[in-house]
Amino acid sequence: MATARAATAGLCEGRGETCAAGFARALVDLAVAGGADRPALLNAAGIEAVDLEDPDRRIPFERYKALMRAAKALTGDEAFALHFGDAFDITELSIVGLMGQACDTVAEAFALLPRFTRLAIEVELEEAAEGQRCVLRNVDGQLWLVDMRKNPNDFPELSESSFARMRTSGRRLGGDSVWKEVHFTHAAPPYADEYARIFGVPVVFESRWNAVRLSGDEWMKVKAPLPSPYVFAILKERAEALLQALDAGATMRGKVEALLAPVLHQGGATLPATAAKLGLSRATLARRLRAEGANFATVLDGLRRRLAEEYLARRRLSVSETAYLLGFSEPAAFSRAYRRWTGRTPRSVRAAAAAARQ
């Protein structure tokens, strides 16, 4: 039987600050290895295990922050964010890292960031960032890589883990001598010695920016270890689809669909339950959907129809499996609904798809 994981593929929990579930899953694994209790960790962050099954699923950033802080508390490791960044390469956490690895040079990989970096972590940026979280600045003849995140001191752990991961990835590419110093806007923590150990260059706290001073632009010519135009094309197609799903979450309809998809098979696709998850009253959710020309019933119906077509034709699931994933009480009820949507039977669609493949 297909699992509920299929119902969450490509869908996000709505716009705003979010991160890919791959980051949260790796964070949990590292914390558990460090002695944290997995259920306690997830409970502290309000995250369910199923939320982490698909690495491309979106996790609200506030929950990711809560997860990081719970990991620090449950492991007793105040420098946990630094150790998390040092432990995992970006290729293990996000499709963005895999795309960069398939590029020919660091320069080509860096060129991906303006469009795709929010697939990894989407946070509010300074106005001067113009949509780019990491930018290059030439100041007085010195080259700086600057993190343009807004209000970074509200969650300095992201600065710690991001820069530690950059350092580890740079060493893997043979760019150990490229970094000259690293700056942070937050004050020096009690574990400042860990910064010195991980970065291996002078560290400046309470700086005007979160930035890395680089030796020059020669590092942009460094070759990626596994360049592959073919792999890159496949990953880019997937990334574009993920961006489209992420942008859909900007609407209330998109947010509702993202919450409904993983619970259809559980029978939890109700207006009261969805409103509660969004922190809204039933009346407010209904009003916001009406403003977009929709209502809860039509959103649920449309989501089921779209997923049904994908499951039957593309994923080759059986009628029974599809009915289960969409929350129908029995295959016959699903078949009636599908005929109402399309004028065809589910079995005829599966048969046509199989014939086309042959």
* CATH 3.90.1520.10, the chain: domain bounds: 5-221
Report the pLDDT value the prediction gives residue 356, as an integer from 0 to 100: 65
Q: CATH: 3.40.1620.10, 1.10.8.640, 3.90.1520.10, 3.40.50.9100. Which one for 5-221? A: 3.90.1520.10
Report the pLDDT value the prediction gives residue 8, as an integer from 0 to 100: 35
Report the pLDDT value the prediction gives residue 205, as an integer from 0 to 100: 98
Report the pLDDT value the prediction gives residue 16, as an integer from 0 to 100: 66
* CATH 1.10.10.60, the chain: domain bounds: 251-357
- Number of neighbouring beta carbons within 10 Å of residue 236: 16
Fold of 251-357: Arc Repressor Mutant, subunit A (1.10.10)
Provide the token pair at 339: 């005929």
Report the pLDDT value the prediction gives residue 13, as an integer from 0 to 100: 36
pLDDT along the chain (358 residues), means of 10: 36 61 96 97 92 89 95 98 95 91 86 85 86 88 93 97 91 78 97 96 97 83 82 90 76 83 84 88 92 90 87 80 90 92 86 69
Report the pLDDT value the prediction gives residue 265, as an integer from 0 to 100: 86
Report the pLDDT value the prediction gives residue 358, as an integer from 0 to 100: 61
